[in-house]
Amino acid sequence: AQRVTQPEKLLSVFKGAPVELKCNYSYSGSPELFWYVQYSRQRLQLLLRHISRESIKGFTADLNKGETSFHLKKPFAQEEDSAMYYCALSGPGGSYIPTFGRGTSLIVHP
Amino acid sequence: DGGITQSPKYLFRKEGQNVTLSCEQNLNHDAMYWYRQDPGQGLRLIYYSQIVNDFQKGDIAEGYSVSREKKESFPLTVTSAQKNPTAFYLCASTGLAGRELFFGEGSRLTVL
């Protein structure tokens, strides 16, 4: 069975501090990993996906197959990064049905 | 303006009543999903449909029903059998299996 674990319910940092939101997964095979973000009063939207290897709003995430992790990182947090972040996984083993983690609430203080 | 539209945004119902949440998309996506979002529990899959006239149960399907008569529409009925229906419901769609999900704004159901 595929599973996504986000160990932190809440992450609280000050503006300018580095941020790392953790995501670990369980999956047999090669999964596709995603980070979704939900800002206050906005719909859930894709932040980035591992196959794109891109940086969005200063965030990056590297797929580590050895550690089965896909942690989201940003070197200098901004107040506008405050949001709910969800890690998600899909793959052929699960008929490409996306599975989400429980989410991490990021609060960036001024 | 392409996207996913959910309605109503807020809904109040008495215990024992069935309610239907609407989800419409004009993205020409084949796959559609219903998730339930509860604080601290993330998104849990209720039902999904990968093609018209076909749908499958997700992890928490008990007390819910769906239909997929048209590609654009995937309504969710919360029945009186659902023990704890008060929640935020999200509809999503995707054009390619395993690719980006597009979400609606959600429907908040409160059962009094």
Q: What is the DSSP string of A63-83?
A: -BTTTTB--EEESS--GGG-E
Average pLDDT of every residue of chain A: 92
Select the residue from B6, B25, B30, B43 to test the A interface by mutation, using most A Cβ atoms within 10 A.
B43
DSSP assigned state of A94: G
Asked if the C-beta of B2 comes within 8 angstroms of chain A's C-beta atoms, the answer is no
Q: Does B61 touch chain A (CB under 8 A)?
A: no
* Better-scored residue on pLDDT, A83 or A94: A83
User: In this structure, what is the dihedral angle of CA atoms B60, B61, B63, B64, given to the nearest 10 degrees?
Assistant: 130
**Percent of chain A, pLDDT > 70?**
98
**What's residue A73's pLDDT?**
96
- Which residues on chain B are in Cβ contact (under 8 Å) with A98? 33, 45, 98, 101
Q: Which of A44, A91, A97 sits opposite B90 (nearest CB)?
A: A44
Cα(B69)–Cα(A38) distance, integer angstroms: 30
Q: CB-based contact (8 Å) between A91 and chain B?
A: yes
Question: Which range is least confidently modeled, A9-23, A48-62, B22-36?
Answer: A48-62
CB B33 within 8 A of CB B45: yes
Confidence of residue B41 (pLDDT cuts 50, 70, 90): confident
B14 vs A43: CA distance, rounded Å: 27
pLDDT at A42: 92
Question: Whose structure tokens read 């069975």?
Answer: A1
Residues above pLDDT 70, as percent of chain B: 96
Q: Which pair of tokens denotes residue A51? A: 């196959």
